């Protein structure tokens, strides 16, 4: 119904419109800078990564192809296997401890009326801060002699714990700090999904006498399954990539207790004897692991019915 | 019983809020204490006398001012350039009449979102080295700007698609060219999305650690995240001073957050759920 348009274009104006919006020079000017930068820093590194990974290049000019040797070397190194194990512990901790807590807190926040905004904005704060600053901050909080955590424990007569220097405690400490940083982000994500649900069902269930726990478990959780799925997948890919917090707090130590794949990469490939071939092969392994695990999750638990 | 039921969620949530805020308050108090002895003896107490000397020492002696301005300058320029480039691209892709090419380019750019950042880290290091810009701010400015492009194009293009056609029809009839149409009509209308994208990119660069750590080794070029780690390693024993550094680094973000919390939450969650 052309007549319903407030202003109908004459044929001449239509041609003018088409002409203006088909100006190839303007189009190129607007597209090319983005594409150049994107190709240079995304596509090109991706291509060269898949190439260097099969060489023994160490940053000097000569290198040779060594087939899958980098991959074989890495998987024969018990330190790397140990690092994979620690990545898996990050995943287990995220899925088994963080995700239930995230859902629990999100439901709690969704059900209070007073202070809801305050809770939401406060829990989100750590996720907008620099991981390196958070690592420094918690290194101080967990300091064996002057840190407040040990001061608090000493009230109960507990001897100072060397949180980051004791190989039994270092990984749990890093896991907790990592959770402290990211939980709020996920809570806000889940909270938004809960608040978007229609309120009537919850009210009806309440009138029928369902307890708060019953409503949460039988009503809210099934309805927010898609967003829980997203949270689990983001946690998995986050756990595969985790590195900043480890580098700043422990550098992978003590004796590999907190080493993860990406910190192993940094320590091996960028150390005193750089080995870029090995490094790129490790980054491809991390990439493959992340893809594999998310695909695995999606084809099993992550399937949203219907 | 009924009032207990109403209060108990608040008690649990307030405990969580305390766990989140406690480290910041602790660091703020410590930054105003004269020495480790005062921190160690009374870690939870308000400082006995406010000792502002740390703030002067950290700012000048520990070069926090240098790191701070490097961070501000890099985060601002790369976020601004990223927004400008992605807005121009999003405009060309959604508004100009090259549908086939636009569709292909759009898909091509979105591939970038599947590649997690630190997979490219070593290859980017080699690239930056070959370009001869290692140890200059270009080594961070370019990857930061480029790294933000895919998600920025996605968010801005989604917003631009929703702008009705009538406006630009009228503008073109009035004789505006494609270029002026972009910055006089479309860009102002897209401002809310641009602000969101700017914030996400700014925070991303402000907080970035891995590239900053390996691409820059000159002290006077370091940004806050890497400068702070060097600072901690140099002043291992002076925790009052380290706390001051943390306060300097966290405060600008918190001030920004105080004014733009909704925008920041919206942007950061949109940026985080890209995959």
pLDDT digits (tens, 9 = 90+) for B67-110: 999 999 999 999 999 999 999 999 999 988 888 889 999 999 98
Give which of B96, B122, B156 to mutate to test A binding, by max A Cβ within 10 Å.
B122
Q: Are residues A48 and A79 in the same domain?
A: no
B156-187 confidence digits (pLDDT tens): 999 998 888 888 888 888 888 888 888 888 99
What share of chain A has pLDDT > 70, as a percent? 93
Residues of chain A positioned with their CB less than 8 A from the CB of B20: 122-123, 125-126, 180, 184
A11 touches chain B (CB under 8 A): no
Name which of B26, B96, B273 is nearest A22 (Cβ-Cβ).
B96
The per-residue pLDDT of chain B, averaged, comes to 86
CA B129 – CA B135 distance, rounded (Å): 9
Residues of chain B positioned with their CB less than 8 A from the CB of A48: 123, 126-127
Q: Are residues B159 and B194 in the same domain?
A: yes
Q: Is B56 domain-assigned?
A: no
B19-48 confidence digits (pLDDT tens): 999 999 988 888 888 777 777 777 677 777
Using H for helix, E for strand and C for coil, what is the string for B188-241? HHCHHHHHHHHHHHHHHHHHCCHHHHHHCCCHHHCCHHHHHHHHHHHCCCCHHH
How many Cβ atoms are within 10 Å of B92's Cβ, its own excluded?
A: 25
Kindly tell me if the per-residue pLDDT of A8 is higher than 60.
no
DSSP 3-state assignment of A180?
helix
Q: Is B146 domain-assigned?
A: yes
Q: Is B223 domain-assigned?
A: yes
Q: How far is A186 from chain B (nearest CA, A)?
A: 9
Q: Are residues B35 and B150 in the same domain?
A: no
Record: contact A280-B122, CB cut-off 8 A: yes
Q: Are residues A114 and A241 in the same domain?
A: yes
Q: Are residues A46 and A86 in the same domain?
A: no
Q: Are residues B39 and B91 in the same domain?
A: no
Record: contact A128-B272, CB cut-off 8 A: no
DSSP code at position B136: S
Q: Are residues A37 and A168 in the same domain?
A: no
Residue-number span of the structural domain to which B47 is assigned:
4-10+15-51
Q: Which residue has the higher pLDDT, A250 or A157?
A: A250
Q: What is the pLDDT of residue A190?
A: 93
Q: Are residues A43 and A90 in the same domain?
A: no
Q: How far is A155 from chain B (nearest CA, A)?
A: 13
Q: What is the pLDDT of residue A306?
A: 36
Q: What is the pLDDT of residue A304?
A: 52
Q: Are residues A140 and A44 in the same domain?
A: no
Q: Are residues A90 and A42 in the same domain?
A: no
Q: What is the pLDDT of residue B275?
A: 38
Kindly tell me if the per-residue pLDDT of B116 is higher than 60.
yes
Kindly tell me if the per-residue pLDDT of A11 is higher than 70.
no
CATH of residue B170's domain is 1.10.3720.10
Q: Which residue has the higher pLDDT, A304 or B59?
A: B59
Q: Which of B213, B219, B24, B116 is CA-nearest to residue A251?
A: B213
Residue-number span of the structural domain to which A7 is assigned:
2-52
Give which of B29, B119, B275 to mutate to test A binding, by max A Cβ within 10 Å.
B119
Residues of chain B positioned with their CB less than 8 A from the CB of A243: 118, 210
Per the structure, the count of domains in chain A is 2
Q: Are residues B25 and B161 in the same domain?
A: no
Give which of B3, B95, B123 to mutate to test A binding, by max A Cβ within 10 Å.
B123
The per-residue pLDDT of chain A, averaged, comes to 86
Q: Which of B23, B209, B12 is CA-nearest to residue A187?
A: B12
Q: Is A154 domain-assigned?
A: yes
Q: What is the pLDDT of residue B271?
A: 74
B91 touches chain A (CB under 8 A): yes
Contact pairs from chain A to chain B, CB under 8 Å: 282
Question: Among A104-118, A230-244, A274-288, B44-58, which is the least confidently predicted range?
Answer: B44-58
Q: Are residues A84 and A23 in the same domain?
A: no
Per the structure, the count of domains in chain B is 2
What's the ipTM? 0.87
Name which of A131, A145, A184 is nearest B207 (Cβ-Cβ).
A131
CA B204 – CA B271 distance, rounded (Å): 10
A32-43 confidence digits (pLDDT tens): 999 999 999 989
CATH of residue A150's domain is 1.10.3720.10
Q: Are residues A93 and A239 in the same domain?
A: yes
A122-179 confidence digits (pLDDT tens): 999 998 999 999 999 999 899 888 888 888 888 888 888 888 888 889 999 999 999 9
HSE (CB half, 13 Å, CA atoms) of B39? Answer: 30
Q: How far is A140 from chain B (nearest CA, A)?
A: 7
Q: What is the pLDDT of residue A55?
A: 87
Q: Are residues A84 and A20 in the same domain?
A: no
Q: Among all residues of chain B, which has the CA nearest to that of A149?
A: B43
Kindly tell me if the per-residue pLDDT of A81 is higher than 90.
yes
Q: Are residues B30 and B123 in the same domain?
A: no
Q: Which of B254, B251, B257, B249 is CA-nearest to residue B68?
A: B249
**CA of A64: how far to CAs of A18, A53, A207, A285, in Å?**
54, 11, 74, 20
Q: What is the pLDDT of residue B84?
A: 95
Q: Is B57 domain-assigned?
A: no
Q: Are residues B45 and B144 in the same domain?
A: no
Q: What is the pLDDT of residue A302?
A: 61
Q: Are residues A221 and A290 in the same domain?
A: yes
Q: What is the pLDDT of residue A53?
A: 87
DSSP code at position A3: G
Q: What is the pLDDT of residue A7?
A: 53
How many Cβ atoms are within 10 Å of A273's Cβ, its own excluded?
A: 9
Q: Are residues B41 and B68 in the same domain?
A: no
Handedness of CA B57, B59, B64, B67 (dihedral sign): negative
Give which of A4, A23, A33, A41 to mutate to test B binding, by max B Cβ within 10 Å.
A41
Q: Among all residues of chain A, which has the CA nearest to that of B275?
A: A234
CA B126 – CA B211 distance, rounded (Å): 12
Q: Are residues B46 and B84 in the same domain?
A: no
Q: Is A66 domain-assigned?
A: no
Q: How far is B139 from chain A (nearest CA, A)?
A: 11
Residues of chain B positioned with their CB less than 8 A from the CB of A125: 20-21, 254, 257
CA B127 – CA B111 distance, rounded (Å): 20
Kindly tell me if the per-residue pLDDT of A3 is higher than 50.
no
Q: Is A184 domain-assigned?
A: yes
Q: What is the pLDDT of residue A1?
A: 40
Q: Are residues B173 and B103 in the same domain?
A: yes
Q: Are residues A116 and A256 in the same domain?
A: yes
Asked if residue B108 lies in contact with residue A36, where contact means CB atoms within 8 angstroms, the answer is no
Q: What is the pLDDT of residue A4?
A: 45
Q: What is the pLDDT of residue B115?
A: 77
B230 touches chain A (CB under 8 A): no
| Residue A169 CB contacts under 8 Å (≥ 6 apart), including other chains | A161, A162, A163
Q: Are residues B43 and B91 in the same domain?
A: no
Q: Are residues B93 and B225 in the same domain?
A: yes
CA A102 – CA A227 distance, rounded (Å): 12
A39 touches chain B (CB under 8 A): no
Omega of the bond leading into A254 within 30 degrees of 0 (cis): yes
Residues of chain B positioned with their CB less than 8 A from the CB of A123: 16-17, 20
B172-231 confidence digits (pLDDT tens): 888 888 888 888 889 999 998 999 899 889 988 988 999 999 999 898 999 999 998 888
Q: Are residues B189 and B106 in the same domain?
A: yes
Q: Is A68 domain-assigned?
A: no
A220-245 confidence digits (pLDDT tens): 888 888 889 889 988 888 888 888 99
Q: Is A70 domain-assigned?
A: no
Q: What is the pLDDT of residue A87?
A: 93
């Amino acid at each position: 119904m052309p007549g319903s348009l407030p202003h109908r274009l004459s044929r001449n104006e239509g041609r003018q419109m088409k002409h203006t919006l088909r100006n190839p020079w303007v189009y190129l000017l607007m597209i090319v800078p983005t594409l150049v930068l994107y190709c240079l820093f995304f596509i090109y590194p991706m291509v060269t990564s898949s190439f260097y990974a099969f060489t023994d290049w160490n940053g000097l000019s000569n290198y040779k192809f060594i087939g899958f040797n980098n991959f074989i070397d890495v998987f024969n190194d018990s330190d790397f296997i140990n690092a994979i194990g620690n990545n898996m512990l990050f995943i287990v901790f995220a899925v088994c401890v963080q995700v239930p807590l995230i859902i629990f807190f999100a439901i709690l926040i969704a059900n209070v009326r007073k202070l809801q905004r305050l809770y939401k904005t406060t829990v989100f704060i750590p996720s907008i801060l620099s991981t390196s600053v958070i690592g420094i901050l918690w290194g101080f909080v967990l300091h064996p002699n002057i840190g407040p955590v040990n001061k608090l424990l000493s009230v109960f007569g507990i001897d100072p714990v060397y949180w980051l220097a004791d190989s039994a405690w270092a990984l749990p400490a890093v896991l907790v700090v990592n959770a402290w940083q990211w939980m709020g982000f996920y809570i806000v994500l889940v909270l938004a999904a809960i608040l978007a649900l229609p309120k009537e069902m919850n009210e009806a269930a309440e009138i029928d006498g369902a307890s708060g726990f019953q409503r949460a478990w039988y009503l809210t959780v099934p309805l927010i399954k898609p967003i829980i799925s997203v949270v689990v997948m983001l946690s998995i890919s986050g756990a595969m990539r985790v590195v900043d917090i480890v580098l700043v707090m422990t550098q992978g130590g003590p004796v590999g207790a907190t080493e993860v794949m990406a910190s192993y990469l940094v320590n091996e490939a960028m150390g005193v004897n750089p080995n870029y071939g090995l490094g790129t092969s490790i980054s491809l392994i991390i990439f493959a692991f992340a893809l594999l695990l998310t695909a695995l999750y999606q084809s099993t638990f992550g399937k949203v019915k219907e | 019983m009924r009032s207990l039921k109403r209060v108990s969620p608040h008690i649990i949530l307030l405990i969580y809020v305390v766990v989140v805020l406690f480290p910041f308050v602790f660091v703020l108090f410590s930054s105003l204490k004269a020495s480790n002895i005062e921190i160690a003896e009374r870690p939870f107490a308000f400082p006995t006398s406010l000792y502002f000397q740390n703030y002067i020492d950290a700012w000048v002696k520990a070069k926090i001012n240098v790191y701070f301005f490097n961070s501000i300058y890099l985060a601002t320029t790369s976020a601004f350039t990223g927004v400008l480039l992605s807005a121009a691209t999003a405009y060309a892709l959604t508004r100009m009449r090259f549908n086939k090419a636009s569709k292909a380019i759009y898909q091509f750019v979105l591939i970038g979102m599947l590649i997690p950042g630190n997979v490219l880290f070593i290859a980017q290091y080699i690239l930056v080295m070959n370009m001869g810009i290692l140890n200059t701010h270009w080594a961070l400015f370019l990857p930061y700007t480029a790294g933000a492009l895919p998600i920025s194009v996605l968010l801005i293009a989604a917003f631009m698609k929703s702008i009705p056609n009538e406006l630009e029809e009228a503008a073109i009839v009035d004789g505006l060219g494609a270029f002026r149409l972009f910055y006089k009509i479309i860009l102002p209308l897209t401002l809310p999305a641009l602000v969101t994208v700017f914030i996400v990119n700014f925070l991303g660069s402000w907080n970035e650690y891995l590239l900053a750590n390996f691409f820059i080794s000159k002290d006077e070029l370091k940004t806050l995240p890497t400068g702070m780690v060097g600072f901690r390693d140099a002043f291992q024993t002076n925790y009052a001073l380290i706390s001051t550094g943390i306060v300097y680094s966290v405060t600008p973000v918190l001030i920004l957050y105080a004014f733009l919390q909704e925008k920041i939450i919206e942007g950061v969650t949109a940026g985080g759920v890209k995959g």
